[in-house]
Amino acid sequence: MQFRERLHRFARKPAREKLRIVYRKLSSKLPESDWYWKVHSPGSDRTTYIIGLFGTGRHYLNELMERHTGARAKYFRDAIRLHRGPTSMIYSGHATFKHVSRGQNLPAVTRRILEAARVRIADLIFLYRHPLDSLISNWVFWRTDLRSREGLYVALAYDNTDDLAADLEENFVEFEAFAAGDPAFFTGSRGPRFLSFQEFVEETELYLQSASHTFRLEDFSVDPAREFSRIANLMSIDLNLNGSQISSPHTKPYRYLELKEKVPRFSSFISRLDAGTQRRIEACGYSVS
């Protein structure tokens, strides 16, 4: 009787109120954004996971996915969700392979994505760039996030490389603390520290050894149409260009080389990298010179 009375009361409510109630009930039981797919079909393609460590250009690839994948774009989410079977969903996010890190999903999530890719119900696309460029981007992002909650990218925080170089020179002790993974860098902010530079490079190498589909951000700067076409073929979709071209990344590749010339202490930092880290950077296809 109580259930029937509740059902009658629900039926008498305005349509908008009914929608709010359904949304609230579903959202309380499901992760954000997933409630929709309990009502609508999530499709049956292989789930696509776009994974990048922090500061590797993942947002650029997100923009291409939303702009050029046609009907499949409605399945895109800037989040990571796990499914037991194949779907048409396109998930994008940060996740680590081995180390726990601020701002990135746990290694347990990565392991489940790798397993889904292994049994062919998902595709894992790993995007990476030169680790020293990522280091600079991550230092700028986290220091602006902690100071003003803005979390700025290099292009937004500085008008030019000279301004960035001057800031790096002035705050080099802080930069070294960040690169070392010093928890004191995040004093006053809840949560774990970010990866040290050595850990970041190790994470990159581990992904490149395990992910079946890897893409370098620098290659998108050379020929974005070619690189994104590779991803489209992997996902079995037709590119939706609508007369527009595939844009290049906003970030400048190999910016670290300019900073190396302008900031002697940064050049010294690179030359003092331990042999293991240098070896790993070279194994990823990059030089430290």
The pLDDT value given to residue 6: 60
Average pLDDT over the chain, rounded to whole?
88
The pLDDT value given to residue 241: 72
The pLDDT value given to residue 238: 83
Is 50 exceeded by the pLDDT of residue 239? yes
| Higher pLDDT among residues 25 and 97, named by residue | 97
pLDDT (average), residues 11-21: 58
Is 90 exceeded by the pLDDT of residue 225? yes
Angle between helices 131-148 and 172-179 (to 10 degrees): 110
At 149, the pLDDT band (50, 70, 90 cuts) reads confident
Reading the block at residue 33, the tokens are: 């954004």
- The predicted-structure confidence for 167-209, as pLDDT tens digits, reads as follows 999 999 999 999 999 999 999 888 999 999 999 999 999 999 9
At 39, the pLDDT band (50, 70, 90 cuts) reads very low
228 vs 36, 220, 234, 235, CA distance in Å? 28, 8, 10, 11
Contact 47, 86 (CB under 8 A): yes
The residue extents of the domains of the chain are: 43-129+211-235, 132-195+252-283
E strands, the chain, where? 47-52, 76-77, 90-93, 122-128, 213-216
φ and ψ at residue 148, rounded to 5 degrees: -130, 5
Reading the block at residue 289, the tokens are: 């010179």
C-alpha angle 202-60-240 in degrees, rounded to nearest 5: 130
| Higher pLDDT among residues 211 and 239, named by residue | 211
The pLDDT value given to residue 33: 46
| pTM for this predicted structure | 0.84
pLDDT (average), residues 222-243: 88
- The predicted-structure confidence for 88-99, as pLDDT tens digits, reads as follows 999 999 999 999
- The predicted-structure confidence for 246-277, as pLDDT tens digits, reads as follows 999 989 899 999 999 999 999 999 999 999 99
279 vs 92, 132, 205, CA distance in Å? 29, 14, 10
Is 50 exceeded by the pLDDT of residue 17? yes
At 23, the pLDDT band (50, 70, 90 cuts) reads very low
Is 90 exceeded by the pLDDT of residue 25? no
Q: b/e for 181-209, b at 16 or more Cβ within 10 A?
A: beeebbeeeeeebbbbbbbbbbbbbbbee
The pLDDT value given to residue 34: 53
Which amino acid makes up residue 23? Y
The H helix count followed by the E strand count for the chain is 15, 5
SS3 127: strand
At 242, the pLDDT band (50, 70, 90 cuts) reads low
72 vs 67, 68, 75, 216, 236, CA distance in Å? 10, 9, 6, 23, 10
φ and ψ at residue 216, rounded to 5 degrees: -95, 135
Is 60 exceeded by the pLDDT of residue 110? yes
